[in-house]
């Protein structure tokens, strides 16, 4: 998760820049005709997207960087003795204008990008990296921070003490204590890394968009469910093509593999997806090596043996041996069951006439057929009850039952794309809690996957509270001319997952923005999201909103029972697949020597202990593995499984007390959601659950070993 981004009115920003300690001559000139710098007279001071032109961004960034430099200089030159207020809090609050602009630009760079926007990012990112380094490597500033850290004075509250500790560690972990010569190396390495990760993400997106298969023979698509054919027809029409087009976007790629019996096309599609940016025009293989090696240089420079040691020092797991042991334990507990899952599906395929070795592009087709036969459950049976509008209603209803939240669409709040809807969020007393933007459907200007982010975070300054602007971005099945958007069960879980992140943001109550919402340790941040997925299989919840989109009939009890029964179908395989991602992530980031080998072969070796499906030469996930090479999860992908252990144990309390228990929900809100990063996550978890989590909870939830 990114540091929360604050949006304030210009008058407040100007007051921050025009502090008495800053000579007026040093204040940057701000062009008030630039909407990114002007006052926003909008509902809840939300961004006026329609007024912002691409040409506004670079001059706005330049002005905001100058403003931030002036604010930092005022802290450094303050003649008064360093205190928590004039140094630590002042640092926390500086850069508000820059946060406003970055909060818009970098979120839209992910959700609604363009070639020009990507070029702007390549020009702006080095300036931001330089600013960050200039702040962190400023010896006078660090001296002030260190003095307060060593002599904090009295009267600091727990969240104040945590901010002080976080601030000092941030400087120390970003090179402040290095020699002058090493500081210059640190600047060089971090600048290079910033550019590399940005280029990696752009290449991965371009590679994803570059490949399609257009089908003009109706016989090839005749066997596909209507919703798949309609989606492919819509994609073809949007591209000016005839017939049906399948892409590498998840709502297109995954259903085709699942329902098509055409092995040749599926092999071609699967290999294209799993070789994205592995060679070719958008090759990321050299960039992968450069990123890994640059991270190693940074870690070594700061005194760590490997990059994972550096990262994990500030995680709930705390160190590399703990993560390695955690992944190994889960693998040992589940690998034999995952291999059994593969044998089960292979034997089933053979019973249906399949000959030879079951390959990865065969897996979805036969595992889906087996599930349909064993549990009488497939996407076609489930999707009619999961119309997007109803799922959204159900998710909102759950938030109301647990936390008393209400969601009201407000068309007066501008959105950045016609697909987006903005909601005002209030609690049971009518208190304004947040603005929530929902962005559901894939487009070429949006990267794949699903995520929660913020245009603005939560904070309180001089008794005035700023509430968050939260955005959920997803890539769900689009509606067609014939059919509304009907979600798969996986998509329903994804909605609940990302909504859990949004609750973490919307229910934040802390004073300092850098501690609020999702600004927590990376291996703790997935607890609020993953626990929400549990409600997807609770009949008591589904019965409240899941109705057939054509008949209005409630979802049948026996269908819910089948969903529950099928929940752990291939759970071991799915678990080991996730472990493979975590283990290859750790392999890249526990390197202790520069890597100059073959990316594909490195991945084969790192994933070997977890390999269930056959290895396919000429494929590798690393060149498109955005989570770890451009998305902030480096040495942190294990956190998804770590959080599964937490949520399996945490949800058992809801099962014990009732899935809509206000008592449990209020405790979860008080101890987890509202607290953010104000305390160590283990302390917060134990305060909620009463004990530390155990791996066994997840094993039992998957139904293994029974």
Whether residue 232 sits in one domain with residue 100: no
- CA-wise closest residue to 528 among 654, 669, 409, 319: 669
State both tokens at 476.
């769900």
Domain end (from 273, 295, 310): 273
Domain assignment of residue 580, yes or no = no
Domain end (from 177, 202, 228): 177
**pLDDT at 581 (0 to 100):** 97
Domain assignment of residue 356, yes or no = no
User: Cα angle at 520 between 515 and 522, to 5 degrees?
Assistant: 155
Summarize pLDDT for 537-575 with one digit per residue, the tens.
999 999 999 999 999 999 998 999 888 888 889 999 999
**pLDDT at 626 (0 to 100):** 94
Contact status, residue 213 vs residue 268, Cβ threshold 8 Å: yes
- Work out the pLDDT band at 27, boundaries 50, 70, 90: low
Give 459's strand partners: 466
Question: Which residue blocks in 416-506 are alpha helix, DSSP H?
Answer: 489-506
Does pLDDT of 702 surpass 90? no
Summarize pLDDT for 621-637 with one digit per residue, the tens.
999 999 999 988 999 99
CATH code of the domain covering residue 63: 1.10.1370.40
Domain assignment of residue 2, yes or no = no
**By residue range, what is the domain housing residue 426?**
384-571+640-701
Distance in angstroms (rounded) separating the CA atoms of residues 305 and 184 = 20
Give 212's strand partners: 247
Distances (CA, A) of 298 to 131, 182, 311: 18, 10, 11
Whether residue 523 sits in one domain with residue 413: yes
Contact status, residue 587 vs residue 597, Cβ threshold 8 Å: no
- Work out the pLDDT band at 26, boundaries 50, 70, 90: low
Distance in angstroms (rounded) separating the CA atoms of residues 243 and 236 = 6
What 8-state DSSP symbol labels residue 486?
A: B
- 3-state SS of 576-642 is HHHHHHHHHHHHHHCCCCCCCCCHHHHHHHHHHHHCCCCCCCCCCCHHHCHHHHCCCCCCCCCHHHH
What is the dihedral sign for C-alpha 305, 311, 314, 317?
negative
Does pLDDT of 409 surpass 70? yes
Q: Print burial letters for 395-433: b (CB count within 10 Å at least 16), e (below 16).
A: bbbbbebbbbbebeeeeebbbbeebbbbbbbbeeeeeeb
What is the dihedral sign for C-alpha 73, 74, 80, 86?
negative
Q: Which of the residues 491, 498, 533, 603 is marked catalytic? A: 498
Whether residue 157 sits in one domain with residue 258: no
Indicate whether this model's pTM tops 0.95.
no
Whether residue 100 sits in one domain with residue 52: yes
Domain assignment of residue 559, yes or no = yes
Distance in angstroms (rounded) separating the CA atoms of residues 224 and 699 = 35
The yes-or-no answer on residue 700 being catalytic is no
**pLDDT at 9 (0 to 100):** 26
**pLDDT at 19 (0 to 100):** 41
Whether residue 126 sits in one domain with residue 81: yes
**pLDDT at 706 (0 to 100):** 56
Comparing 536 with 26, which gets the higher pLDDT? 536
Whether residue 563 sits in one domain with residue 696: yes
Give 246's strand partners: 213
Whether residue 517 sits in one domain with residue 451: yes
Whether residue 221 sits in one domain with residue 167: no
**pLDDT at 14 (0 to 100):** 33
Please compute the mean of the pLDDT values over residues 225-238 and round it to a whole number: 94
Summarize pLDDT for 118-142 with one digit per residue, the tens.
999 999 999 999 999 999 999 999 9
Domain end (from 157, 177, 197): 177
Q: DSSP states of 302-329 as a string?
A: TT-SSHHHHHHTTSSS-SHHHHHHHHHH
Domain assignment of residue 448, yes or no = yes
Distances (CA, A) of 477 to 107, 378, 383, 386, 491: 22, 16, 11, 11, 9
| Contacts with 40 (C-beta within 8 Å, 6 or more apart), sequence order | 7, 9, 10, 46, 47, 48
Whether residue 215 sits in one domain with residue 160: no
**pLDDT at 705 (0 to 100):** 64
Q: Is 609 exposed, middle or buried (0-12, 13-18, 19+ CB in 10 A)?
A: middle
Summarize pLDDT for 144-202 with one digit per residue, the tens.
999 999 999 889 999 999 999 999 999 999 999 999 999 999 999 999 999 999 999 99
Domain assignment of residue 540, yes or no = yes
Whether residue 253 sits in one domain with residue 113: no
Whether residue 121 sits in one domain with residue 68: yes
Count of domains observed in the chain: 3
Please compute the mean of the pLDDT values over residues 63-87 and round it to a whole number: 96
Domain assignment of residue 362, yes or no = no
**pLDDT at 11 (0 to 100):** 29
Whether residue 666 sits in one domain with residue 561: yes
Domain assignment of residue 622, yes or no = no
């Amino acid at each position: 998760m990114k540091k929360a981004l604050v949006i304030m009115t210009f008058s407040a920003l100007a007051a921050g820049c025009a502090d008495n300690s800053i000579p007026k001559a040093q204040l940057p000139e701000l062009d008030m005709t630039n909407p990114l710098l002007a006052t926003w007279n909008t509902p809840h001071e939300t961004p006026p997207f329609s007024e912002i032109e691409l040409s506004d961004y670079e001059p706005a960034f330049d002005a905001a960087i100058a403003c931030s430099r002036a604010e930092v200089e005022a802290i450094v030159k303050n003649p008064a003795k360093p205190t928590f207020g004039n140094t630590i809090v002042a640092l926390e609050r500086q850069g508000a204008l820059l946060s406003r602009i970055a909060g818009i630009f970098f979120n839209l760079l992910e959700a609604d990008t363009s070639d020009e926007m990507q070029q702007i990012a390549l020009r702006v990112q080095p300036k931001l990296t330089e600013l960050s380094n200039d702040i962190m490597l400023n010896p006078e500033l660090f001296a002030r921070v260190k003095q307060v850290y060593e002599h904090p004075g009295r009267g600091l509250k727990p969240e104040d003490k945590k901010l002080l500790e976080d601030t000092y560690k941030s400087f120390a972990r970003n090179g402040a204590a290095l020699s002058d010569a090493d500081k210059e190396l640190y600047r060089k390495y971090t600048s290079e890394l910033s550019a590399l990760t940005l280029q990696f993400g752009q290449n991965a997106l371009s590679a994803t968009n570059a490949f399609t298969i257009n089908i003009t023979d109706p016989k090839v698509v005749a066997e596909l469910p209507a919703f798949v054919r309609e989606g492919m027809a819509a994609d073809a029409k949007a591209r000016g093509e005839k017939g049906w087009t399948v892409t590498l976007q998840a709502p297109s790629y995954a259903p085709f593999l699942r329902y098509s019996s055409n092995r040749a096309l599926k092999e071609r599609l699967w290999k294209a997806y799993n070789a994205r940016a592995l060679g070719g025009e958008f090759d990321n293989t050299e960039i992968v090596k450069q990123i890994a090696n640059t991270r190693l240089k940074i870690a070594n420079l700061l005194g760590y043996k490997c990059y994972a040691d550096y990262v994990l020092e500030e995680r709930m797991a705390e160190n590399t041996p703990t993560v390695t042991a955690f992944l190994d334990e889960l693998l040992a507990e589940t690998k034999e069951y995952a291999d059994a899952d593969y044998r089960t599906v292979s034997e089933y395929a053979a019973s249906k006439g399949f000959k030879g070795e079951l390959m990865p592009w065969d897996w979805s087709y036969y595992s889906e057929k087996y599930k349909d036969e064993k549990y009488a459950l497939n996407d076609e049976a489930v999707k009619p009850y999961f119309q997007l509008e109803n799922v959204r209603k159900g998710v909102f209803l759950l938030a109301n039952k647990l936390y008393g939240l209400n969601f009201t669409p407000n068309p007066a709040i501008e959105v950045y794309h016609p697909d987006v809807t903005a909601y005002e969020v209030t609690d049971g007393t009518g208190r304004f809690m947040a603005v929530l933007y929902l962005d559901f459907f894939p487009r070429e200007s949006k990267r794949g996957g699903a995520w929660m982010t913020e245009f603005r975070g939560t904070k309180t300054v001089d008794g005035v509270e700023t509430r968050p602007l939260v955005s959920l971005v997803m890539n769900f099945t689009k509606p067609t001319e014939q059919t509304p958007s009907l979600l798969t069960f996986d998509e329903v879980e994804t909605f609940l997952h990302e909504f859990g992140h949004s609750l973490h943001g919307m229910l934040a109550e802390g004073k300092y923005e850098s501690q609020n919402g999702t600004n927590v340790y990376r291996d703790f941040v997935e607890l609020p999201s993953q626990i929400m997925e549990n409600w997807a299989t609770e009949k008591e919840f589904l019965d409240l909103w899941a109705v057939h989109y054509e008949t209005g009939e409630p979802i049948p009890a026996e269908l819910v029972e089948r969903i529950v029964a099928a929940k752990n179908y291939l759970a071991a395989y799915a678990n080991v697949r996730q472990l493979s991602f975590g283990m290859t992530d750790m392999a890249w980031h526990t390197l202790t020597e520069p890597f100059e080998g073959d990316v594909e072969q490195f991945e084969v070796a790192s994933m070997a202990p977890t390999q269930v499906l056959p290895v396919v030469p000429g494929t590798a996930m690393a060149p498109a593995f955005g989570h770890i090479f451009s998305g902030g999860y480096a040495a942190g992908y294990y956190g998804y499984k770590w959080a599964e252990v937490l949520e399996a144990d945490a949800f058992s309390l809801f099962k014990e007390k009732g899935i809509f228990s206000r008592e449990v929900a209020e405790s979860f809100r008080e101890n987890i959601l509202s607290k953010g990063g104000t305390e160590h996550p283990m302390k917060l978890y134990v305060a909620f659950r009463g004990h530390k989590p155990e791996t066994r909870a997840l094993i039992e939830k998957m139904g293994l070993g029974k």
